[in-house]
Structure 1
Amino acid sequence: MPVEFLTDEQAEAYGKFAEEPTRPELERFFFLGDVDRDLIARRRSTHHQLGFALQMCTVRYIGRFLPDNPLDAPWPVVEHLAAQLGIEDPSVVKRWIAKTEHLLRVVDPVDDTYRRQMNRQLTVQESRHKLARDVCHGKRGTIHQAYRDGMEDQLGALGLVLNAIVLWTTKYIDAAVAQLQAEGHEIREEDIARLSPLKHRNLNLLGRYSFTPSTPRQGLRPLRDPDAPELDEDDDGQE
């Protein structure tokens, strides 16, 4: 025969801060002893230390961690712990909450949407770095100048070339998609979303880059016929 030890109201309130702790409760449950401080000191930053202390003392007070949002604890609790740790700005705990949420979403065994988004973002960054290394191939992707102004000039020129390549490639990708659609080919939106203007196998990165003013070409060059045979690097197209 089942027996209920808690009323519905008590069960609903379990594991939560029903009200702000009194001063005696703060001094009893949220006091940090030497052992507590040794554990907290192992955390590398103030927001980690304060967040760890908040969860540790919350368990003492309500019997469990706050599973949804540790900041559901009354703010005087956070301030009381921050004062004991010598942390002047208790709001740094919000950074710990953000990192905790980030880690939980990364390791979520059910929904991997966030993890996939991170992987796509990392892939984009790595592709851009690879393009920059290839553009700056003579120095193997590194900047060699003995003075800061020279380095800034080189980085500025590298950024200008990268932006020009991305803009140029984006325009031609858009033109290619438009032409394929006009020819009746079905192109899915999810496939278009995977296109990247950072692919540069079709670009000749040898030589020098000239930044002299010039008259822009009217319109884009004709797109290459996808059925035409590709030329090898040493093939000039002659029999």
Structure 2
Amino acid sequence: MEKLSGIPLVERPPTLARRAYLQLHQAIRDGAIRQDVLYSENELAETLGMSRTPVREAVLSLSREGLIVIESQRGFRLRTLSAEERQEIFDLRSLLEGYAARRLAAAASSQQVRRLRELIDAQEHLGSVGQESAFLSLDERFHLLQPEMLGLERTHDTLVSLRGAMWLIGYEALSLPRRHENVIAEHRAIVDAITRRDPEAAATAAQAHIHRTAAAVL
């Protein structure tokens, strides 16, 4: 029997567990779920307007990803990363993002460079007061877009997992004086090197940016 082609797949709506997972993910990234606070699954289910079962599934998924810790019969809280874990995260980011920037400097189109500059401009327009969530969202997009542009799926997927851990410490770096302005300048240095088609300068700028962020929180 001949297979049918050209028929689009039917998109299924996300399950309640998936919706709960995405909302919790967003809350962690935005800082709405805070360190050193114990959260009740029952209260969270009530807040989300759903039963405890999908919330429990979402919490278990986030626990497996290493973002939260479940305390039996009590609730859950965000994980606290050790100094060794933080150092490892930044070391891996330095290697992978330096690699992506080096590759992109050799292959980026003018349209891709323009897209990266647009993200930096958007960060700059946000300002530094009360815009941490939006700033971090643009920051994440800037870093993940580079391997996406190159089709580096393994690099991208590894960075996604590292970015999840970065949410646990992202606000710490931004709380330092002038860190917003410094991040923007460091991002521009990366894109300037990519624009010049200078792979080594792009890798160096990317790694310097990661090292300065690490110095702010380690």
Return the TM-score normalized by structure 1: 0.21
TM-score computed with the length of structure 2 as normaliser: 0.22
Structure showing greater relative contact order (alpha-carbon pairs closer than 8 Å, 6 or more residues apart): 2
Structure with greater helix share of residues: 2
Which structure has the greater CA radius of gyration? Answer: 1
